[in-house]
Structure 1
């Protein structure tokens, strides 16, 4: 396999790829030494991500959860990068990288967040995953701070931050990158370049040729990878992790990974992408589908067959069905909606809470249940 320095020191326009869009190995020297079991597990988690996405969009359309951000098309970068990490590594993501949760065991409680319950974040902490971030890029300085703290404690782990290409236009992105470079922070930044920040195309987001090259200004490596290739994303993230863990007793160094991929669906379920992009563009990117190319690779190498594939799908559907059932049977107290609006409850919020409680006392809890 190529050395860490070789992988992370490519020219700005170069892109690491192991599997082409048909699942053929185009860089055999980069193939990671992973067991058959691990490779199939990666595929299973990617299938889980896609099926989870479909179920969540369906639930939202039925009014059973709130606004949801789709991940379809980005399974390769999410699962590939997560499998390169240790379970003790800290992961912080924006709001679309549900694969971070899937790869860490997918607690059913995660669905609670999308149903409007903050309790949905609690189970993530036990898996070293930070709560998702709706505010663009504001988690990046926090991730750098966490990584600095772990370095000061001489802990053998890193912090990883996932974010979209639109986040690179925020001040928090530049502050985090600068701090990481100046202070030799053990952090890996993963920019999920899915070509669109809501309706703003990549070419309107930056005048730079790539997002990866932005790392040059901060004194550390930036590398582009085919984000729809889980194996390529794995090897690049693994190399970046090694560099962050004080290799050869040197100082840890951060890395910016630009995972080039595509968002198949809408920005969120509140968006209509047909008003700003062509179907032909979507179809072109679907030819590079991460699930199909990885499945082809596993079939061709004898690691997967129809029977095992069917078993995986049945297991995934069973887990999701149980998670949805648990979410919908969750007994949340409606009063909790007033608890965290402000640190100290304002007069107006208090009046609303009192009015709600009076109506509840008169009409009972049943009047607040959805038909």
Structure 2
């Protein structure tokens, strides 16, 4: 929104916003942005949807004109969904969804007449309006800096420590900054660099690079926290020997565990899809073959029933036990044929 005017699109820095009362809208990032750009925050009235009628109307239009037109939609409720299998029809990634939403807003929503502006087309109405009122905007670089998590940290000889990571900039080696607290801005999706607000110029930011770039490049904050937990599995002796490389090793170990977990979940998903129908058939088969105690003078088990129980045990063993042989790993096709052979 902040950079759109530079692309000749409707948008810019708003004069005021009315955020929702959800916890996600009461964070320090939003407060930081509004304070930095002099945006007024008007509190939303609780339990009063008419306080933001345009937003409620937009969400309604978004739901029926966009969301429910996509493959894999869950519709508004189970009744509307009916027999439609949302899970099997879902085929969009998050990137796909963002691209489609952007196209829908630009090509359809902003090009359609809106009753709220006397049935005018928003893009045309906007272009006429900005001729009389200047629009404030920001560059991509400014937005990239501003939309980060603000924190306070202390400068120590040009270095700043954040979550067991060290950042350095020669611009921070100043007498008036040493041992002083400063505001830093962190990108939670990439910890390779931070920005430090210059105490001498509140609108100026100093970049500081990680002292361990091979580890922090494209490293998210969530991943970093998980890696620090993974490091606890490495012995103290090895940690001392590895030094900075310990983080890289822990990151590698974490990725390996994620891949193994993904492979296991993939097998489990296949198992969950196959097992219910197999067990149901087994129970039906079992029920039809049972000979009760009253029918056979105290004998409650038939030869056929015994075979079915053995088959159930075999199925359970196949489902839950990993192979103990040193056979080469099976391909996806081999896995499928293995599950298909588990017929009851």
Fold in common (TM above 0.5):
no
Specify the structure having the higher radius of gyration (Cα): 2
State the TM-score bracket (shorter-chain normalisation): under 0.3
Determine which structure has greater relative contact order: mean sequence separation of CA pairs < 8 Å that are 6+ residues apart, divided by chain length: 1
